[in-house]
Structure 1
């Protein structure tokens, strides 16, 4: 009897996944959603707490409640993607991603030059892959948009639960948030030389 109840709970649970390039506020959106939900019926998972996609997948599969999982690259893994009922991509252009990345370091962090080298050699190439994974999202939140309307689509405020109807991507009013592929995303400071000079002046 108990096993039947647990199985029912697993089948009924909803998994909301929030993704975006490194430097975007996918964590903030996830935490804002979580703050409005019943904590006894919802699990918040930070993908960075797991060393592999297999461990993250196991944590999601072992959950016995609704799940909000967030991370920059979680849409890149096909097995993970297949577990997500609702996928939200948080957009942010390259210059703001770079600025936020640099701000994330503590005051005793490596020099600006070292941080920039790290960004352009590691983070920016990964962000390009992450942006390509936006095509898998049910919803995209443009960088200038408020979270409020998006949260209304995702959360049943009265019941303090994730909306179950969201599992049908056809029911999502994508036009409210969706940016057409024909609209190129701003590249901002994609040029390393331009970015270095700009950030040197900003970080003085």
Structure 2
């Protein structure tokens, strides 16, 4: 059985990972630290160097438990990850939006990517454009930030958060553009929307699960 250490910026992500990997033989160890999110909400957010140092400390702490892989589910922490962080460790490090960004960079046609956390928009899109440039793709992407939504999830108002996401997806689904949600906290609403409306909408959790099953690899759980 594989062991995976997961770094979260909010405790609500724990259940999402547990549910996503419940059908696979894997042991998930969860580490929750909202420090970077809380600091970024202040008038003086951490510098890039401070954020990288904090992440390095967290990765070292997690690797001490000898996992087979590390997953970073917070998009702000994911944007802080450097090649040095990865090269210093002999295990794979997956970010919640890494596989998702690869898919978005390669996708043809118009796309609209939804965000709720304004602090993640620029670093996430910077990484997406880097992916596109690396492979010489030219995706057609527009961004939609759902104002006021992120404070709801940080205040544990999950129902209100889900409702505002649903209303936004329902409105934008009538446009001629493929919808995607960029953050893990948005994945449950995207999945429910796919199931009930029969409309494709991409989310990072599904992309991450598919990638890890292939890469580690993971075996199906026995029930």
* Fold match (TM-score > 0.5): no
Structure with more contact order per residue of length (Cα contacts < 8 Å, sep ≥ 6): 1
TM-score by length of 2: 0.34
Greater fraction strand? 2
Give the structure with higher Rg (CA).
Answer: 1
The TM-score, its normalising length taken from structure 1, stands at 0.37
